[in-house]
Chain A
Amino acid sequence: MILNVENLHVKYGNVEALHGIDIHVQEGEIVTILGANGAGKSTTLMAISGLVKASQGKIEFEGEAVHKLPAHTIVTRGIAQVPEGRRVFSTLTVQENLNLGAYTSNDPDRNRKNLKWIFDLFPRLEERSGQLAGTLSGGEQQMLAIARALMATPKILLLDEPSLGLAPILVKAIFDTIREINQAGLTVVLVEQNARAALKLAHRGYVMEVGNIVLEDAAANLLSNPEVQNAYLGGTH
């Protein structure tokens, strides 16, 4: 087990957003987290990355407790996140954004290899490497956000709604890329509104409702689960 979240509680001020959730991820898996708006999906990812702190419970990564570590050290353990809304550094160039992805790396060789791989995955970024990130289209910004996270050479990639606001053809491209990244050996946690596509891609899934995990199953089982179909897949066939 590469990631183990146990009884995780998170509070914003006095309001508890996560009421003790358990998530576990095996190495090499794609795990998806589904849920309605406000269910706590982003909060979960932010807690794993250390940007919000657990008020109770624990998060273990490769056996090490990471929930008390300062956020900027988490990425050095091998956890990278593509946050909701992309959050690329809009007034920096594409290249500078990518360099920041490798901020904690002291291995120029590895950075160069990563960059090459990333430009193979997203040739568009290479063409625009001198352009300010804020001037990229939404889809290109999403590619940049993913590429930037990959520059950290993570062991696990946390993706928060990577398909948000993208045209269907781009969604497919992004999902294909996620599969490719996973086949290259990376473990993936994928938060998605696009539940059907996410479940087709993932090995396993969790369903969250208002700060709790209410379902956990193999992705294929969730796809055929009537409750899931009604709530998240817009009815049935």
Chain B
Amino acid sequence: MELFIQQLTNGLAVGGIYALIALGYTMVYGVLKLINFAHGDLFTIGAYLGLTLLTTLGLTNYLGPFGVVIVLALMVMGLVAIVGAALERVAYRPLRQSHRLSAVVSALGASIFFQNAVMLIYGARYKVYPHDILPRTAIHIFGLDIPLIRLLMLLTSIVMMIGLYLFIQRTKIGTAIRAAAIDQGAAKLMGINVDRVIMIVFLIGPALGGAAGLMVGLYYGQINFTMGWLYGLKAFTAAILGGIGNIPGAMVGGLLLGVIEAMGAAYISIAWKDAIAFCVLIIILIVRPTGLLGERVAEKI
């Protein structure tokens, strides 16, 4: 039982990271029908920017641990959002009228560009986050010691997901984003500036991805310029698992993938952790080709 709860909380915490990244894939896919292959690298950039800001600004001199993390998160999210919007402007918008494959090639190019840029700026070796930012204490619940940072991570990703969900469901811009994802032409007939909607999506998705990068840095303490590849792949899997284009689907898919992985590692074999996750994906897609919550996507095409 102890192992189970440890793995469950661990899986949910990692799954929250997958979910935050998956939201970026799914939102961009929703409005553009494009897989933004550079999204994983925006996550990497978030992790590195977090490290840079942490080591250069000296925030720890003015703020307590939580203040530092909140300020850091806001700055990282803002900066990565700007990188994301610039990416859309430079790499995708000029190709909006072209063949779909052109945009895919452009996305792959952007991914390579970002990865190499990070490597050139920060070097190819692992970088280490200062390990004393958040208290390494454990919280005692259910008769177990669960690391505080793990709970904070889960809490943060859930708060962000709820915030996003409310924004998409309840606000005028959120409704416009959903409308543009269904039918761009009809959205324009309503007076919706679709270019602006796309830009907003390229601000929100990367902001969440950047926050996930920072969280990984704080949680695991080690980052590398290639980290976006595996996390990106996992998150993309999570997006498909939930039904690509579907926002709650990405959330559910991410959390589920994290838990499956953690359970697989604990009860089957840690070496097969990634394989187990992908097997589950394949099984779910055979049973439900549109993903867990994907019906709505299929119905709108």
| A contact set with B: CB distance below 8 Å | 49-51, 70-76, 80-81, 83, 87-92, 96, 99-101, 103-104, 134, 148-149, 152
Inter-chain contact B190/A91, CB cutoff 8 Å: no
Given contacts A51-B185, A83-B186, contact A89 B191 (CB under 8 A): no
Other A-B pairs, 14, CB within 8 Å; known A81-B189, A91-B300 = A71-B188, A72-B190, A73-B191, A80-B189, A83-B185, A83-B186, A87-B185, A89-B178, A89-B183, A89-B186, A90-B182, A92-B179, A99-B172, A104-B191
Q: Which residues of B contact A104 (CB under 8 A)?
A: 190-191
Assess whether B95 is interfacial by the CB under 8 Å rule.
Answer: no
**Measured CA separation A70–B193 after assembly (Å):** 9
**Measured CA separation A90–B187 after assembly (Å):** 12
Assess whether B68 is interfacial by the CB under 8 Å rule.
Answer: no
- How many chain B residues touch A (CB < 8 A): the figure is 20
Q: Which residues of A contact B189 (CB under 8 A)?
A: 49, 51, 71, 75, 80-81, 83, 87, 149
Q: Which residue of A lies closest to B178 (CB)?
A: A92
Q: Which residue of B lies closest to A105 (CB)?
A: B191
Could you give, for residues 270-300 of chain B, a 1 whenever the CB lies within 8 Å of some chain A CB and a 0 otherwise?
0000000000000000000000000010011
Chain B interface SS verdict (over half): helix
Tell me how far the C-beta of B169 lies from the nearest C-beta in chain A, rounded to whole angstroms.
9
Q: Which residues of A contact B299 (CB under 8 A)?
A: 90-91, 134
**Measured CA separation A88–B172 after assembly (Å):** 17
Inter-chain contact B192/A51, CB cutoff 8 Å: no
Could you give, for residues 166-179 of chain B, a 1 whenever the CB lies within 8 Å of some chain A CB and a 0 otherwise?
00000010011011
**Measured CA separation A80–B188 after assembly (Å):** 11
Inter-chain contact A72/B182, CB cutoff 8 Å: no
Tell me how far the C-beta of A132 lies from the nearest C-beta in chain B, rounded to whole angstroms.
9
Q: Which of B181-203 contact A (CB under 8 A)?
A: 182-183, 185-194
